[in-house]
Chains A and B, each alone.
Chain A
Amino acid sequence: MIILKYSEVEHTLTDEKIKTDLLPQKFGTRGKIWTIVLVILCLVGAFAYVRQLQKGLIVTSMRDYASWGIYISNFVFFVAISLVGSLITAVLRLSGVHWSTPLTRIAEIIAVAGITFASLIIIVDMGRPERFYHLFIYGRLQSPIIWDVTVITTYFVISILLLYIPLLPDMKIMMDASKGKGMYKLYKFLGSFWKGTPMQHRLSNKAVNILAIAIVPVAFSIHTVTSWLFATTYRPGWDSTNFGAYFIAGAFLAGSGAVAVAMYVFRKYYKLEKYITDEHFDKMGKIIVMLALLYLYFNINEFLTPVFKMKKSEAAFLNGLFIGEFAPLFWSAIIGGMLVPMFMLLFRKGRKPFPMFIAGIMIVVGAWFKRYLIVTPTLLHPFLPMHNVPEEYKHYFPSFDEWAIAIGSLAGALLVVTLFARFFPIIPIQETIEEKHEKEHDHQ
């Protein structure tokens, strides 16, 4: 029934109509205000970073015990959210799912923006950012940080290619549409070699297939290795064999939440109802429910056994999380960022666009705070008691500079997605046309 409706809608679309619908459009007032706000937030973050460069990390609230704060949790968040690129583009593509085509580019640009800002925010956290090159001239393979640098760089390159190669046929369409305009030169520079010959199509298909296969292990690696930055230490709350899988499950959930939010926003403001249909929200909603269940499972797995044992070294940490100073945040993240969205999306009405948007926001915000809860509480529960240190060393609440930089980086990632959508088609034009033709063919 639904499938019939879906093809009926597509049936009424001509190739030309698809092109004009999907070509990037100028922003309206709301789009402009949104962009300006993001730019301002980025500038405030940049200003705070300049201050940090001058004075040192003393401008943060991090001290010897809470030696990692929201910079690191923000880094983990960015890596997590970028994983969705591989889920939608690779996992769904390889399993022969076609309905996700209009979502691939949204997922891929979120991946590129996420991984870019993950790399930037990790440099912000360094005490000596000007020595970043030491990682390359003195790098030691034994260190999980070097593993992380390696896989994140690889993931970045593959993600860029997975964004770029499928963009080539669209680049040709955009060149035709933008003759004589400012952006023409950019499109020409990026894609003038694409002639659309059968040979080029064959090569591009092959390349995307290879990349889609390659990105799956790399995606698993980036987040598993990121979890190992914690799990390779002895500390209560990090010393866990569950950490890799726990991080991956959480990352897919966070990324899918972000895609749901982006789907809603692009559909509404770019008027893409014919391309991102209720059907898409329904299917994406079901995927999110599955991922939330998976994440719930890994959460239970992560906490039930240590709580059952209540080892002396872990008791203070676990109490802090479940009933102590971190409990309000912890339960908000678990209930608001996982359980409530999951129950919402269990119902067909919950999988309509607007409820999906709300659920997506809850998931993403919950995910951000969950990352904070993974990083900092552990550091505030060391093996030896915190004693005879200044009072500020025993607690952590991010300073203005940290908030400004963290928010600036989030705004920066959103700005990348926004500007991309301004200058490139957020839904693949050529692929949509081709799939329509295929469907018509099947229909006859």
Chain B
Amino acid sequence: MDTNNTSRKEFLASLVTTGLVLAGCSSKDNPFEAGKEENTQLTGEKVKLLSVDGQVIEVDKALLKPVPDLPPVSNSEARIGIPGKKFVMVIDLSRCKNLRKCQEGCNHMHHIHSNLAWVKVYPMEEGEHTAPYWQPTICMHCDEPPCVKVCPVDATFKRQDGIVLIDADRCIGCRFCMAACPYSTRVFNWEKPDTVSDELAKQPYSCESSVPQKKGTVGKCDFCPDMVRKGELPHCVSACPNGTFFYGDINEDSVTNGAETFRFSELIRDKAGYQLMDDLGTKPSVYYLPPASRNFPFEKGLENDNEKI
């Protein structure tokens, strides 16, 4: 088990670099049959790669094969998390104009019931004379998660990389976690999600992709660890045209929205980042940058809102 984990980790570590190099390769070939093709014509063109033990090696281009989508990790592995990581999100409130592309992308990719949403965008106003702004919320992936504390069956759990996930195969649907969460981030599948096809429903549930959502269980934002394993960004991050969401690893001290990358500590320091309702002691992993010098007037967002305020 342990050796498996180690080799997997090493494999994953080299994945991003390999992936870039492999971009040009044909994807039709089955990579697992590479050994059979012993008579591969060498092109003579060498490519530099980083080996699993950190050495730069040269390989003939013809030997490079594309890596297929990895099968999802097992649900017991998903409880442990990605070693050495501590994921974090920074949401820049000055960039949000309530387009809700984040919500759309997330709902689509997770096959969430059409009445529900894991990403929500709220019109906020602190006081009578203060300026209104749009505030997207996702699961805060708290370091002191009230939902995990109250779960009677360990169906929702905290991983060592900071992510809070749900095992929908274990959830008994008591909804205590929904009562406990002060951020109203958890949703319940009151019926079989209308977006889950019969075929999808038959797939085994994966804690890391939270798919397929199941009737009578709780769902919420999962911080997309399945995308991270592929070296990609969460759906909300890549869906936002305004670059509102920054995702990253606090251990690496970097966050990115795809187009821009910042040092997490500098961004939080320079823009006076804060956490939502941190006075409750929940220690959220999501940080907000205040809605100062906004890119759009608040009213712009009203056009996209279905609801009168």
Contact = CB atoms under 8 A, between A and B. Distances in A.
B183 A383 contact: yes
B179 A235 contact: yes
Interface in B218-260: 218
A254 B262 CA distance: 61
A255 B117 CA distance: 43
A384 interface: yes
Contacts of A142: 149-150
A233 interface: yes
B172 A64 contact: no
Interface stretch (B4-12, B28-36, B151-159, B291-299): B151-159
Contacts, number: 139
A62 interface: yes
B123 to A, nearest CB: 7
A388 B305 contact: yes
Interface string A41-80: 0000000000000011110101111011000000000000
Interface residues of B, number: 47
Interface in A385-419: 385-390, 393
Nearest 4 A-B pairs (CB), nearest first? A127-B173, A127-B216, A58-B191, A145-B152
Interface in B105-145: 115-117, 120-124, 137
B170 interface: yes
Contacts of B86: none
A379 B172 contact: no
A439 interface: no
B122 A138 contact: no
A128 B137 contact: no
Contact of B174 (A145, A234, A384, A389): A145
Nearest to B126: A312
A144 interface: yes
B307 interface: yes
B184 interface: yes
A5 interface: no
Contacts of B163: none
B190 A57 contact: yes
A161 interface: no
Interface string A102-139: 00000000000000000000000111110110110011
A132 B307 contact: no
A234 B192 CA distance: 30
Given A57-B216, A383-B184, A128 B172 contact: yes
Contacts of A68: 175, 179
Given A67-B178, A143-B176, A56 B152 contact: no
Contacts of B309: 387
B133 to A, nearest CB: 13
Interface of A: 55-58, 60, 62-65, 67-68, 125-129, 131-132, 134-135, 138-140, 142-146, 149, 229-230, 232-235, 379, 382-390, 393
Contacts of B115: 389-390, 393
A202 B32 CA distance: 79
Given A127-B172, A388-B307, A143 B149 contact: yes
A388 B120 contact: yes
Interface in B177-201: 178-180, 182-184, 186-192
B190 A138 contact: no
Interface string B275-301: 001001000000000000000000000
A128 B154 CA distance: 15
A138 B184 contact: no
Given A127-B173, A135-B172, A384 B215 contact: no
Given A135-B172, A146-B152, 4 more contacts: A128-B216, A143-B176, A232-B150, A385-B123
B122 A131 contact: no
B153 A140 contact: yes
B175 A131 contact: no
B72 interface: no
Nearest to B179: A233
A144 B150 contact: yes
A140 B149 CA distance: 9
A62 B188 CA distance: 10
B145 to A, nearest CB: 12
A383 to B, nearest CB: 5
B16 to A, nearest CB: 36
A390 B115 CA distance: 7
A384 B216 contact: no
Contacts of A388: 117, 120-121, 305-307
A135 B121 CA distance: 35
B210 interface: no
Given A62-B190, A234-B146, A387-B123, A382 B184 contact: yes
B217 interface: yes
Contacts of B186: 64
